[in-house]
Amino acid sequence: MTFLLLTLIALLAFAATRMRSFQLVGGDSRLLHSRPRYYGSYGALLAFGPACLVLMCWSLLQPVVLSQITYAQLTTDHIAAAGSADLALTEIRRTANGAIEGSEAAQLLAARLTQLKAVGDTLKVAIVLVLSVLGAGVAWAQITPQMRARNRVERSVQWLLIAAASLAILTTLGIILSLLFNTIGFFRLHPATDFFFGLVWQPSFGGGSSLGVLPLLWGTLYISLIALAVAVPIGLMSAIYLSEYAGSRFRSTAKPLLEVLAGIPTIVYGLFALVTVGPFLLGVFGNDGLGWMAGGTAVITAGLVMGIMLIPFVSSLSDDIINAVPQSLRDGSLGLGATRSETIRQVVLPAALPGIVGAILLAASRAIGETMIVVLGAGAAARLSMNPFDAMTTVTAKIVSQLTGDSDFLSPEALVAFALGMTLFAITLALNVFALFIVRKYREQYE
Amino acid sequence: MSTSLLDQSSRTRKRNASERRFVRLGLGAIFLSLGFLAMLLIAIAGNGYGAFTQTRIDVAMTWDAESIAKAEKSIVKTAKYNGMIAKALRGQMEAAGIDPQMKDKELLQLVSSSAGAQLRDFVTATDATKGQFDFLASSRVDGYLKGRVTRASLAEDKNLSPAHLDLVDAMRAAGMVERRFNLDFIFGGDASESRPEAAGLGVSMVGSFYMVLVVLGCALPVGVAAAIYLQEFAPKNRLTDLIEVNIANLAAVPSIVFGILGLAVFIQFAHLPQSAPLVGGLVLTLMTLPRIIIPARAALGAVPPSIREAALGVGASKSQAVFHHVLPLSMPGILTGVIIGMAQALGETAPLLLIGMVGYIASNHPDGLISGFTDPNSAMPAQIYEWAKRADPAYIERAWGGIILLLAFLMAMNFVAIVLRRKFERRW
């Protein structure tokens, strides 16, 4: 509502300042430094920008400030009755919303909270509107035919663009901070040595859980390894055939078809693993067949399906890299009498090797971070085993199960998900940075 | 050893054989991947098409105001209505010469447990005293008609017995039971775990729609602005390098990490409502942004410098050259990237799990524009995951059916992107 009003004022300011610029030069726009619409934009900008900034900051900060005020007013009795200060705050907040009818003390504080909120909201609207009108007035007063309105407007637009681009930094920062704070919270409740070196993953909601990350890491690596063992040879050979042998007609049909595999959402692969591949493998390796496999969800199921998912990823990346190898290298080798496959194996592939390693590392990072396939296809048991037909679980699957369960958000069993997320983020980040570094360095080599 | 050029030496033969092997290996790899694709598509189509038909039982009902009043007074109202349905069903069977040979309670196992509520909704809203109903058959009966349920598999099933199946056969012969196209699956909401026959994808489709709207509204302007800055204005300095490294990395961060970010920032810190499409959309926006910025930069970079120079030459400022000339020319390429990014966002599941878009039974359509953004809802992939987790095989069929719908949307979006590129792409 306030926002709409603000927009309205900005539009009015645009019309008014634009008209004024015309009036100042008696309708002859040649005498203005900038075109009239820039004067209008300048007015709109001053009316909208600062007020909008205040509106946003106020809306973000008000709940924090209000809960701090309420927090200061909590009595020890009240905290004891609710269990913890946070629970007491939640109770008060929900009472204020009318969602529940809290205790007497909570109702008192809730009434105060509602009152403060009303005052804050009114104040916010008033200040924002005054600021907006003030901005329009300043713009109106500043306008002269000599004023460089265009330059000022363009500079503000530049800042907007910079802000948009900086959102990437902000996102990374947000990820790191949200992971870090909750991870620290977790390590306050749970010994770090158990997390990093524990060999047992056994969350129990009554407390006293063993939350060792090693079995999860092992499951993750094992599944990723199988996925890469499927995806790398198939993807690489496809890329070689497509870029070195295939005619343009074959290439233009096969390549888009391969890319369809990349466009299929991971939930589809997950269901494919759960319903089709798992039972199929169970039929071959299960008790009716070879007797190696106990259930459809296993490392091999998830790894195989994930491998299928990664084929187009590996093949399109290696395709780019193989194409980047200069033709002169091939011509030289063929001119010496090598066959095409010898050229590829002994000249093209070694030249493309760093890039291909980079592509494989990117694929590995994809496999490690993949969630839906392992949630549906790999099973839920954390175990350290060499048998690919066993059910195992991964870091991502446990993040999902720990955060979607019924456990209290502040218990170590839920907070461990953030520590797992941190582990995952650190591993994939390291892989990505390294892989991107290799790929970029390699590209420069032949440019 | 022959010395003729026409005879190949054994070494040449070996080399040529290895050449042929290599080619065959490459071709084999491609056909293997295409075979995987075919298997996947067959699995989807074969398992999912069943969800688009549903077995229905036609029952002609008559009632009077008195029995309605009595039913409305009772505490468990649908039980009374169920009784009325059983009576009508029995009468209709006997008229068709079928002897049910079972009690009302057992007879009702043929019909979905939502039938009573359906009848009540109709009866209380009308003055008529009779009507023709096509009640949903229970999921086991539906499974029997689709070949999922057999007499053998019902041996230990307490929801239906083989005797029921004999009845169903007789009723089919009499034309009372039929598989029909299932509009409710496309437009209806989710149902509780025990009623797979009534579950639909419609509500979560609406949730996905609002989420994609959020992604479009946030990611398009921000992504284009960031791409313009980096491609056209950014000086070569530390900040620019930092931004570029960040974008490249964010594009490869696992999607579940964005879910954790959303949980911590939007729900834990900013107290936005859980399970809301607004939050889902914001998380997906953050995830999609780098995937939009990268192709947008490529599209801007593809506009030749001569355009910029010509604009600058006739007195445009740098901003004017970019916003009046370069940006409009690169718009088709940018939009193609945006649509593909949105298609990826539409199919993404993992981050949605963490912000509470599963476990919530999305059974009612949101009742307005704002509540569409803020009310708890599910999304298509999250709903499919939810169904895949439920034990009943009838839900697995629905999950596959949901995948068909999801893929149809993704294909449509990609098709639009391809058409856009073909139609408006300019080669300089």
Per-residue confidence (pLDDT) for residue B317, from 0 to 100? 92
Q: Hey, is the C-beta of B416 within 8 angstroms of any chain A C-beta?
A: no
What is the value of ipTM here, to two decimals? 0.89
- Same domain? For B214 and B155 the reply is no
Q: What is the pLDDT of residue A91?
A: 77
d(CA A289, CA A291): 6
Mean pLDDT confidence for B16-34: 94
| A179: chain B residues, CB-CB within 8 Å | 257, 260, 264
Q: Does A278 touch chain B (CB under 8 A)?
A: no
Amino acid at B372: G
Cβ–Cβ contact B102 with A under 8 A:
no
**Across all residues in chain B, what is the average pLDDT?**
87
Q: Which of residues 1-60 of B touch A (CB under 8 A)?
A: 15-16, 18-19, 22-23, 25-30, 32-34, 36-37, 39-40, 43-44, 47
Q: Does B241 touch chain A (CB under 8 A)?
A: no
Q: Does B370 touch chain A (CB under 8 A)?
A: no
Binned at pLDDT 50, 70 and 90, residue B174 comes out as confident
Q: Does B400 touch chain A (CB under 8 A)?
A: yes
Q: Which residue of A has its CA nearest to B235?
A: A162
- Residue B227 falls inside a structural domain: yes
Query: In this complex, do A165 and B243 lie within 8 Å of one another by their Cβ atoms?
Result: yes
**DSSP per residue over B216-284, as a string?**
HHHHHHHHHHHHHIIIII--SSHHHHHHHHHHHHHTTS-HHHHHHHHIIIIIIIT-PPTT-HHHHHHHH
Provide the chain A residues 90-149 that lie in CB contact (below 8 A) with chain B: none
Domain that holds residue B88: 54-180
What is the count of residue pairs from A and B with beta carbons less than 8 Å apart? 256
> A424–B243: do the CB atoms touch at under 8 Å?
no
Same domain? B211 vs B338: yes
Strand B130-136, strand B53-62: pairing:
antiparallel
Residue A165 is nearest to which of B229, B261, B385, comparing CB atoms? B229
* Domain match, B158 and B227 both: no
Structure tokens belonging to residue B425? 């792409």
Q: Is A292 on the interface with B (CB under 8 A)?
A: no
Q: Is the pLDDT of residue B1 over 80?
A: no
- Among A262-266, B13-17, B107-111, B124-128, the minimum mean pLDDT is found in B124-128
Q: B209 and B176 in one domain?
A: no
Q: Is the pLDDT of residue B107 over 90?
A: no
B24: nearest CA partner in chain A: A241
In degrees, rounded to 5, the angle at the alpha carbon of residue B218 between the alpha carbons of residues B213 and B220 is 90
Q: Which of A436-440, B32-36, B323-327 has the lowest mean pLDDT?
A: A436-440
Residues B173 and B252 placed together within one structural domain of the fold: no
How is chain A split into domains, by residue range?
2-146, 148-183, 210-446
CB B247 within 8 A of CB B323: no
Q: Which residues of A touch B234 (CB under 8 A)?
A: 165
* Pair (B169, B237) in one structural domain: no
CB B312 within 8 A of CB B219: no
d(CA A35, CA A20): 12
Question: d(Cα A336, Cα A350) in Å, to the nearest integer?
Answer: 17
| pLDDT tens per residue, range A19-50 | 998 888 888 888 888 888 899 999 999 999 89
In this predicted structure, what is the pLDDT of residue B348?
92
Spell out which residues of chain B touch residue A362, defining contact as CB-CB under 8 Å. 252
Please choose, from the candidates A314, A261, A258, A274, the residue with its C-alpha nearest in 3D space to the C-alpha of residue B410: A261
Give the best residue of B229, B357, B409 to mutate against chain A (max A CB count within 10 A). B229
- Chain A contact set for B318 (CB, 8 A): 154
- Residues A97 and A95: their CA atoms lie apart, in Å, by 5
Question: What average pLDDT values come out for chain A (447 residues) when binned by 10 residues?
Answer: 88 92 86 89 91 89 83 78 75 76 78 88 92 92 88 92 91 92 89 86 76 90 95 95 91 89 92 90 81 81 94 91 89 93 92 89 92 88 83 90 75 87 93 83 66
Tokens at residue B337, please? 């990237």
User: What pLDDT sits at residue A407?
Assistant: 64
At residue B2 the predicted structure's pLDDT band, cuts being 50, 70 and 90, is low
Task: Please indicate if any CB of chain B lies within 8 Å of the CB of A4.
Answer: no
pLDDT score recorded for residue A446? 65
Asked if B346 and B289 sit in the same domain, the reply is yes
- Computed over its alpha carbons, how large is the radius of gyration of chain B? 30
Report yes or no on B291 lying in a domain.
yes
3-class DSSP state for residue A317?
helix
Q: Which of residues 328-387 of A touch B (CB under 8 A)?
A: 339-342, 344-345, 362, 365-366, 368-372, 375-376
Query: How many domains does chain B contain in total?
Result: 2
- In 3-state terms, what secondary structure has residue A314? helix
Position A439 scores a pLDDT of 75
Please give the structure tokens belonging to residue B109: 């196992």
Chain B residue numbers touching A429 (CB-CB < 8 A): 249, 253
pLDDT tens by residue, B272-292: 888 889 999 999 999 999 999
- Asked if A150 is an interface residue toward chain B (Cβ–Cβ < 8 A), one would say yes
Q: Which of B25, B260, B263, B380 would best serve as a mutation to test chain A binding (most A beta carbons within 10 A)?
A: B260
Q: List the CATH number of the domain containing B353.
A: 1.10.3720.10
Q: A323 and chain B: CB distance < 8 Å anywhere?
A: no
pLDDT of residue B119: 83
- Tell which phi-psi region holds residue B356, choosing left (phi > 0), alpha (psi between -120 and 50) or beta: left
B228 in contact with A, Cβ within 8 Å: yes
Confidence of residue B59 (pLDDT cuts 50, 70, 90): confident
Chain A: residue whose CA lies nearest to B357: A404
Q: Let me know whether B154 and B213 are in one domain.
A: no
* CA-based nearest distance A186→chain B, Å: 14
Report the alpha-carbon distance of residue B249 to residue B72 in Å, rounded. Answer: 62
Q: Do B274 and B404 lie in a common domain?
A: yes
Q: For testing the chain B interface, which of A94, A175, A429 should be mutated: the one with the most B CBs within 10 Å? A: A175
Q: Any residues with CB less than 8 A from the CB of B398 and at least 6 apart, and which? A: B51, B185, B196, B199, B201, B387
Helix extents (H) in A211-298: 214-240, 248-263, 266-271, 278-285
Domain A210-446 -> CATH class:
mainly alpha
For residue B62, the cross-strand partners are: B130
